[in-house]
Chains A and B, each alone.
Chain A
Amino acid sequence: MNQEKIRNFAIIAHIDHGKSTIADRILELTGAVSKRELKSQMLDSMELEQERGITIKMNAVKLEYKGYTFNLIDTPGHVDFSYEVSRSLAACEGAILLVDATQGIEAQTIANYYLALENDLEVIPVVNKIDLPNADKEKVSSELIDTFGFTEEEIIYTSGKTGEGVDILLDRIIEKIPSPSGEENSKLKALIFDSAFDSYRGVVVQIRIVDGKIKVGDKIRFMSTNSVYDVVEIGYSNPKITKVNELTSGQVGYLCASIKNISDIKIGDTITLDNDPATEALKGYVPMKSMVFSGIYPLETNEYNDLRDALEKLKLNDASLMFSPETSKALGFGFRCGFLGLLHMDIIKERIEREFNINIILTSPSVIYNVYLTNRTMVEVDNPSNMPEKEVIDHIEEPYIKTSIFVPTEYIGPIMELCENKRGTFVNMEYINKTRVNIHYELPLSEIMYDFFDKLKSVTKGYASFDYDLIGYRTSNLVKMDILLNGEPVDALSMIVHKDFAYNIGKNLVSKLREIIPRQLFEVPVQASIGNKVIARENIKAMRKDVLAKCYGGDISRKKKLLEKQKEGKKKMKTIGQVDVPGDAFLEILSINK
């Protein structure tokens, strides 16, 4: 394979800036799929991705254009997934930076651009969606010039919808993105940048060959785990799966080696030949640290093993998912899971429910608190129910973030008010142009876990974009708040809150619980307490009416179906003490107004 003729690149963009549509046009223009075959957003293969309209898992596809081989590697666009973006970028030499002509530069445009720079990629700036009536090419291109220092000539204008400019973009890729620089005759070094589990083929590993070559039948070694396997299948997607006998330096593809032991595969690991190994592994990348923690429990206790199985399989192509077993008095056996952020948590929840068909309960999410004890030791607490007793705590530190909030200037006021309400400290404000600013605040991470995104959206009518960086730990006046149902504390609902906000949170939380827990056969008090002190209380009224209407003309089967449906609904509930709590309750309470 002539390495000179290979171009490996990714498309990076803020969410909804049209990345998947551009990818579709590229697939069409290179003849990889005909218009008829093209299902909109071809690269978003998971059902969930297509529904949500966002790309959560990457896919690599091999394309032919004017005698060149393109490997297009898709990337996610959301703030939670910058780690996955950097995985994709490590397999590339170039990146297309896509900006929506109606929106301009947003928070993740900047975050993704810097990720590309860190990976030494050649970046091609593209202003997309120019077909829209409210597109403002001049304004957006001047933003690109002012913010990143591109020149006017470098910027390409495209429409993913009509295909305009995509041919120019493809030519620019050939022209500007360097070919891979690996040595085909060196020892094999292949970077694992993704993997997935296939029930027939075992683990399918997505790789980029950096040096050397790999053939079917080779004995390969995973350098970090030292496990050895025989390669049984090699291939690529174009976007149909195509088997080949070998892949050489610069190429992108997949391999199968009858790998059943999922833990042998680490994303970012290097593959080499067992009998002729490379001496040094590729740089790889440091897995991103989980920022949000929550307990995941099966609704049906006998599904614990299925749940573990599901988590292991999900981890295969989502290395950022962390989990370890834990138990809860209220919920039984489950797992403590670490996520990159709230969206990540939400997606994992949905994937478990949809792809593995297990009904689960998520407990109140938490960050990691550094708890300093009076005996001068420190413990990390990621589960509020493990918080030490008040008496032995000297002080507690919590993680802080620095925000980038891109917003039209007229929303500066509402944003500042929102951040102040979330215990934020103003840092500064950068003007992107006359009408838009980037606002920096320092905020406790825990404050953005609940309704921050929704609030941000509503106070700016959807015009804000948001990104954040972790900046370290700071001391805060925090307390543990317990929730009691029918007088019994429910560990899964405990949370750590700032003392000054505890009363309000408690009040909102119990009233939310009163709303979402259905009436029971008896009256159930719901209380919030700090230590032994009850700070809020409401009662869930006893059920008064639940009776079938007329049994008409002997149509009894219909009435029976109603009862069956009602019974089915009960199965979606978890009985805590004697109270039936809907599985969703634990997550729904997150939407409370703090």
Chain B
Amino acid sequence: MVKSAYIHIPFCKHICSYCDFCKFIYNKDWVLKYLDSLKNEIDLDYKNEELETTYIGGGTPSSLSCDELEKLLEICSIFKLKPGYEYTIEFNIEDITSQKLELCKKYNVNRISIGVQSFNKSYLSLLERNVKVNIEEKILLTKKYFDNINIDLIYALPNQSLSDLKEDLDKYLKLDIPHISCYSLIIEEHTKLNNMHFKPIDEDLDYDMYQLINNKLTGYNHYEISNYAKPGYESKHNLTYWNNEEYYGFGCGASSYIENYRYNNSKNIINYLNKIYNKESEKIDLDEKIRLELILGFRKIKGINISDFKKKYNKDILELFNIKDLVKEEKLIINDDYIFINEKYLYISNEILINFV
């Protein structure tokens, strides 16, 4: 059963040096055509299910002008939402204005995710996010309209020290925002950072930073490797992914997971503007589905519920792969009907997850 919808807006005013997602420089002519095609795609595929979450991400959805943003929200209002729904839109700090926030409010958006990345101007300029506004003021403005807010933070930046990170975290904590995603910088191929030959920071420092984050965010529920929330503010949309549940993906380069098929939309923007979607499909058979359940499920700190797994697949999770051995080696822990990665190995979880691919 489809639980969520993701809508991709691939336009940005400026391309960040670390970004390897599907994105294009904002272009007014394209945006209108894009929204038109997006509406068409949704009309074609959406089967009127009641959804639990909607998420508008990018790119930078907030780079759209007020008129365009309203058009987008209008299109997305076609989604039927269950009571208790979560409806998120991503904002760039510079784009935050009362007008846009009010617009979101009007269309029932109830969660704002802000790509802050860092409070430190010199790291922001390294990431090519040249923020000319006061970050704190913009976040406080957002708080006037919304209480469910996420902030994205990137750490392990080139030359970043533990005390730099501590400063960022202190600034975050002072703002009293209920959700934070902390991602260690990965220098991906085909990014400006990679082209400029930046190298990842020392592995030990990276680990120490992760520990610092965990220690600073004690008032938060560390519910996924990189995500922390005040109780009740865990992202329902992300949980759809990690619980291996089904979702729609609309927009250029988006992926969907519907009735045991994965569909990947083409990243060709010209085709998309011309309403040619070229969805690549891949059947997810039972074996593959179980693998995904484990790879995604073990991202959650709480892990996978053993009884629920049994119910879903009619299989005992402990009998799969080498899970028994991993439990014996204390890489996986069983507690209270849940199986999860030993905290000690959480930050090297790939070493465990590769057993399931």
Contact with A along B211-247 (1 / 0, CB 8 A): 0000000000000011000000000001001100001
Distance in Å from the Cβ of A445 to the closest Cβ of chain B?
41
Whether B255 sits at the interface, judged by CB under 8 Å, is: yes
A557 touches B347 (CB 8 A): no
Bound Cα distance from A544 to B346, whole angstroms = 10
Q: Which A residues lie within 8 Å of B242 (CB)? A: 551
For A545, give its contact among B8, B206, B255, B257 (CB under 8 Å). B206
Distance in Å from the Cβ of A573 to the closest Cβ of chain B?
12
Whether B149 sits at the interface, judged by CB under 8 Å, is: no
Q: Which B residues lie within 8 Å of A547 (CB)? A: 184, 225, 346-350
| Contact residues, B237-271 vs A (CB, 8 A) | 238, 241-242, 247, 249, 254-257, 262, 264
Contact with B along A378-409 (1 / 0, CB 8 A): 00000000000000000000000000000000
Known interface pairs A543-B203, A546-B351, A547-B184; 12 further A-B residue pairs with C-beta atoms within 8 A, sorted by A's residue number: A521-B345, A544-B207, A546-B348, A548-B225, A548-B350, A550-B181, A553-B55, A554-B249, A554-B255, A554-B256, A556-B241, A559-B295
Whether A570 sits at the interface, judged by CB under 8 Å, is: yes
A521 touches B351 (CB 8 A): yes
**A residues lining the B interface (CB < 8 Å):** 519, 521, 541, 543-557, 559-560, 563-564, 566-567, 570
A-B contact pairs, 30 of them (CB 8 A): A541-B204, A543-B203, A543-B348, A544-B204, A544-B207, A544-B347, A545-B203, A545-B206, A545-B347, A546-B347, A546-B350, A547-B184, A547-B225, A548-B349, A548-B350, A549-B186, A551-B241, A551-B299, A553-B8, A553-B57, A554-B255, A555-B264, A556-B255, A556-B262, A556-B292, A557-B262, A557-B264, A563-B350, A567-B354, A570-B354
Distance in Å from the Cβ of A265 to the closest Cβ of chain B?
46
A554-B249, A554-B257, A560-B295 in contact; A545/B207 too (CB < 8 A)? yes
Distance in Å from the Cβ of A108 to the closest Cβ of chain B?
40
For B255, give its contact among A521, A557, A570 (CB under 8 Å). A557
Distance in Å from the Cβ of A369 to the closest Cβ of chain B?
42
Bound Cα distance from A552 to B57, whole angstroms = 9
Bound Cα distance from A321 to B254, whole angstroms = 56
Number of B residues near A (Cβ < 8 Å) is 42
Q: Which A residues lie within 8 Å of B254 (CB)? A: 553-554
A544 nearest CB neighbor, chain B only: B207
A544-B203, A544-B207, A550-B183 in contact; A563/B347 too (CB < 8 A)? no
B348 nearest CB neighbor, chain A only: A546
Q: Which A residues lie within 8 Å of B264 (CB)? A: 555, 557
Bound Cα distance from A549 to B242, whole angstroms = 13
| Contact residues, B249-303 vs A (CB, 8 A) | 249, 254-257, 262, 264, 282, 292, 295-296, 299
Distance in Å from the Cβ of B46 to the closest Cβ of chain A?
16
Q: Could you say which of A521, A543, A544, A548 has the most chain B C-beta atoms within 10 Å of its C-beta? A: A544
B6 touches A519 (CB 8 A): no
Classify the secondary structure of B's interface with A: mixed
B257 touches A566 (CB 8 A): no
Bound Cα distance from A566 to B348, whole angstroms = 12
Q: Which A residues lie within 8 Å of B354 (CB)? A: 563, 566-567, 570
Distance in Å from the Cβ of A173 to the closest Cβ of chain B?
54
Bound Cα distance from A560 to B353, whole angstroms = 10
Contact with A along B161-188 (1 / 0, CB 8 A): 0000000000000000000010110100
Whether B321 sits at the interface, judged by CB under 8 Å, is: no
Q: Which A residues lie within 8 Å of B6 (CB)? A: 553-554
Distance in Å from the Cβ of A519 to the closest Cβ of chain B?
7
For A544, give its contact among B8, B247, B292, B348 (CB under 8 Å). B348
Q: Which B residues lie within 8 Å of A557 (CB)? A: 255, 262, 264, 282
Bound Cα distance from A550 to B348, whole angstroms = 15
B291 nearest CB neighbor, chain A only: A560
Q: Which B residues lie within 8 Å of A543 (CB)? A: 203, 348, 351
B350 touches A566 (CB 8 A): yes
Q: Which B residues lie within 8 Å of A549 (CB)? A: 183-184, 186, 226
Q: Could you say which of B256, B292, B347, B353 has the most chain A C-beta atoms within 10 Å of its C-beta? A: B353
Bound Cα distance from A541 to B202, whole angstroms = 12
Bound Cα distance from A559 to B207, whole angstroms = 21
Bound Cα distance from A560 to B262, whole angstroms = 13
Bound Cα distance from A544 to B206, whole angstroms = 8
Whether B87 sits at the interface, judged by CB under 8 Å, is: no
Whether B357 sits at the interface, judged by CB under 8 Å, is: yes
Whether B21 sits at the interface, judged by CB under 8 Å, is: yes
Bound Cα distance from A181 to B351, whole angstroms = 71
Distance in Å from the Cβ of A11 to the closest Cβ of chain B?
45
B206 nearest CB neighbor, chain A only: A545
Whether B123 sits at the interface, judged by CB under 8 Å, is: no
A555 touches B350 (CB 8 A): no
A560 nearest CB neighbor, chain B only: B357
B210 touches A545 (CB 8 A): yes
Q: Which B residues lie within 8 Å of A566 (CB)? A: 350, 354
B351 nearest CB neighbor, chain A only: A546
B242 nearest CB neighbor, chain A only: A551
A569 nearest CB neighbor, chain B only: B354
Bound Cα distance from A559 to B350, whole angstroms = 10
| Contact residues, B306-354 vs A (CB, 8 A) | 345-351, 353-354
B357 touches A567 (CB 8 A): yes
Q: Which B residues lie within 8 Å of A546 (CB)? A: 347-351
For B241, give its contact among A519, A521, A554, A564 (CB under 8 Å). A554
For A555, give its contact among B55, B255, B295, B299 (CB under 8 Å). B255
Bound Cα distance from A110 to B181, whole angstroms = 70
